[in-house]
Amino acid sequence: MQSMLGSWRLTAVLCLTLTSACAHYRVQAPGHAGAPATEPEGEVLWSLAWGLVQEQPRVDNCQDQALAEVTQSTNLGFALISVVTLGIAMPQRVEWRCAKAQPSPGELGSLAHAPQEVR
């Protein structure tokens, strides 16, 4: 009985340890601007020296369009790297999706084709 209780505790601690290091944060624009037009692209970015040096993502697939969604993720491996290096090196995965193209402003009609006033 005692060994079974011990194995349940070990299993519970192991599960909590393995799942506690995963985190996902997502920011999405509201409304039409948040409707993504592309599949997610991403890369692993590194923050060094407790955040004093930060790598910037290279978002080159949006062709001057806005970002619809950005997701930042970390996992157990990234957390272990952060702990072992005492926070000197902190990797994280950043993914983004580009927004749909916004229609360009233009003329709706000209004055020559304006409706005539009814008398």
Q: pLDDT value at position 95? A: 93
pLDDT confidence band for 91 (50 / 70 / 90): very high
Q: Are 44 and 91 in contact (CB under 8 A)?
A: yes
Query: Both ends of the chain: CA-CA distance in Å?
Result: 97
Q: pLDDT value at position 52? A: 93
User: What's the gap between Cα 62 and its chain centre?
Assistant: 15
- Integer Rg of the chain from CA: 25
Q: State how far the Cα of 62 lies from the Cα of 54, in Å rounded to an integer.
A: 22
More reliable by pLDDT, 9 or 92? 92
pLDDT tens column, 24-77: 788 887 777 677 788 888 999 999 999 899 998 888 888 888 888 899 999 888
Residue type, 104: S
Q: Is the pLDDT of residue 97 over 60?
A: yes
pLDDT confidence band for 93 (50 / 70 / 90): very high
